[in-house]
Structure 1
Amino acid sequence: MVSEHKIAPLPFVANFTAGAIAGISEILTFYPLGLQVKTRMQLETGKSTTGLVGAFKTIIKEEGFGRLYRGLVPPLLLEAPKRATKFASNDFWGKTYLKMTGDDKMTQQLSILTGCSAGATESFVVVPFELVKIRLQDKLSTYAGPMDVVKKVIQKEGVLGLYSGMEATFWRHFWWNGGYFGCIFQVRGLLPKAESAKARLMNDLIAGTVGGFVVKSRIQGATKVPGVVPKYNWTYPALITIFREEGPAALYKGFVPKVLRLAPGGGVLLLVVEVTLNMFRQVLGPPYL
């Protein structure tokens, strides 16, 4: 009986680098749609919203085309460590859980658990950068730039002020990554077995696309006043407040641009990651091939 060739897992640095390259690729492609317009729509209060096309037109007409890329530096600097952390920690937790359970292959349950763990890890890297991004993207923003946001937040709220919205971000990344990686595992299993490198990449694009909250933006966009409890302070109470005051539709502000970014964005992420990892395998050679 001929033994099946077992491909060795790539080192941590390979997964980290692949995630970083994928993150930068995604942010440069989808920034105006997924971040600028979505965030602006989410920061609107009240029951009315301009909608996706209206948000684009308003920003360009009133503030110029360049405004669509306002606040690009923080997420651009963020995407490398953020996505690197996502895929590297997903790989780390996957190996850890397989070792703990004694399983040889990833299962649906383990892929979800691994994704949730990766999301929780990723959230600690994300929060300060996203707080800076959201403060800059607010229409009423008077900050001179990213470092001005950091400086003033620390002056008024201390270093921990940079972690405003941590709880909401934690839960978002926890659940989203569990669903993302769990869905990728499921879709990959349903797709026809790829017989070529091109077919495998297409499968990755499809799986990532299929795999691909207002609350976090409200919490991070609010300016804290000493001695006053913020209106949007904790995730689930904030959900109830927004629902009660603005109706259920307010919870889905920015939903369209978010989905339009997450679907192809998730596909691009996974595609670039797999292309980069394949390059590492080719360079490193056996036993990684």
Structure 2
Amino acid sequence: MTSTPERKPLPFVANFAAGAIAGISEILVFYPLDVVKTRMQLDTGKTTQGLVGTFKSIVKEEGAGRLYRGLVPPLLLEAPKRAVKFAANDFWGKTYLGLSGRAKMDQQLSILTGCSAGATESFVVVPFELVKIRLQDKASTYKGPMDVVKQIVRKDGLLGLYVGMEATFWRHLWWNGGYFGSIFQVRAMLPKAETPQGTLLNNFVSGSIGGFIGTLINTPFDVVKSRIQGTVQTPGVVPKYNWTYPALITIFREEGAGALYKGFVPKVLRLAPGGGVLLLVVEFTLGVFRQALGPPYL
């Protein structure tokens, strides 16, 4: 009995394109939840309006269009961001398999690979995230994305666009570690799909659970990142929120443990099904590439 040869890994460009298409699909569907999440995280009070209250407040006071305020930067970012995420995950996965001498990915390697992919991704996203946060802030008076960039560069130079780099690094490292590590475990637990529809369902379920777990782990880091990037720095004044872990302690002391999870509900409502959509679209797109390239990629 002859064994079936393993299919050849797809080229980097295929993983890059699949990640880009998936990212744009996800953000177009779930972006308003990101606006609500940021508003909740920037609120430094001990009480919060919650998801529904914040949503209603934005629509009532600022109009429904405000729910898409700051869409351009993340939309421009999503293609390279998601593409880098999945391409980096593929790259680091192959690298760690080679270094460890293991034949197949396991739970530990999946987490390590995800964390490395998140760290890689963070270097790409910081300027876009900074512009997005500044536009989503209720007090924002910027005319648009380029106005944010011009004012930051004029005041702080090009390095000003990398405010919050350290917090973004931790946010992405922990989310990707939780996301890709969970996907591996959940896929192993699900019954093997016998049909293409079953494969799609398994991908959606594992991606959604991965998105939930990644969000559960990284929300405190996201709160800190929003606070750091949402604060316009004053020369000679030490920012209240500066480095990630001290900022976590400050928020905990002043606002309580619950404040570290401000915006969790809209964030998880976006990133749990969003994670499922991401994985679904990525796997579907990679399947299209395999069909187009033919053997030995099938």
TM-score bracket, normalised by the shorter chain, equals over 0.9
Amino acid at match of 1:36: V
Most deviating of 239-248 and 58-67? 239-248
Distance 1:187 1:242 in 2: 33
Matched, 1:269 2:278: yes
SS in 2 for 1:38: helix
Distance 1:28 1:177 in 2: 21
- Residue in 2 aligned with 1:29? 29
Distance 1:27 1:128 in 2: 18
- Residue in 2 aligned with 1:149? 148
SS in 2 for 1:116: helix
Amino acid at match of 1:52: L
1:4 Cα shift?
Answer: 2.0
The correspondence for 2:226, drawn from 192, 217, 227, is: 217
- Residue in 2 aligned with 1:208? 207
Matched, 1:12 2:12: yes
Distance 1:249 1:107 in 2: 34
SS in 2 for 1:270: helix
- Residue in 2 aligned with 1:60? 59
Distance 1:261 1:3 in 2: 42
Matched, 1:250 2:259: yes
Distance 1:243 1:111 in 2: 31
SS in 2 for 1:204: helix
SS in 2 for 1:3: coil
Give the % identical residues.
79
Amino acid at match of 2:93: G
1:243 Cα shift?
Answer: 1.2
SS in 2 for 1:45: coil
1:273 Cα shift?
Answer: 0.2
Q: Which 4+ residue blocks in structure 1 deviate beyond 6 angstroms?
A: none
- Residue in 2 aligned with 1:132? 131
Amino acid at match of 1:258: K
Matched, 1:175 2:184: no
Residues 39-75 of structure 1: CA distance to partner in whole angstroms, max 9, x if unpaired? 0111111101111000111000000000000000001
SS in 2 for 1:49: coil
- Residue in 2 aligned with 1:188? 187
Distance 1:63 1:239 in 2: 31
Distance 2:101 2:129 in 1: 38
Distance 2:264 2:112 in 1: 26
- Residue in 2 aligned with 1:115? 114
Please give the TM-score of this superposition, normalised by the length of structure 2. Answer: 0.95
Amino acid at match of 1:87: F
Most deviating of 110-119 and 96-105? 96-105
1:100 Cα shift?
Answer: 1.2
Amino acid at match of 1:288: Y
1:121 Cα shift?
Answer: 0.2
- Residue in 2 aligned with 1:50? 49
Please show how residues 217-236 of structure 1 align to structure 2 within 5 Å: 217-236=226-245
1:262 Cα shift?
Answer: 1.2
1:5 Cα shift?
Answer: 2.1
Q: Which runs of 5+ in 1 are unaligned?
A: none
**Root-mean-square deviation (Å):** 0.8
1:269 Cα shift?
Answer: 0.3
Distance 2:38 2:174 in 1: 20
SS in 2 for 1:194: coil
Distance 1:8 1:39 in 2: 42
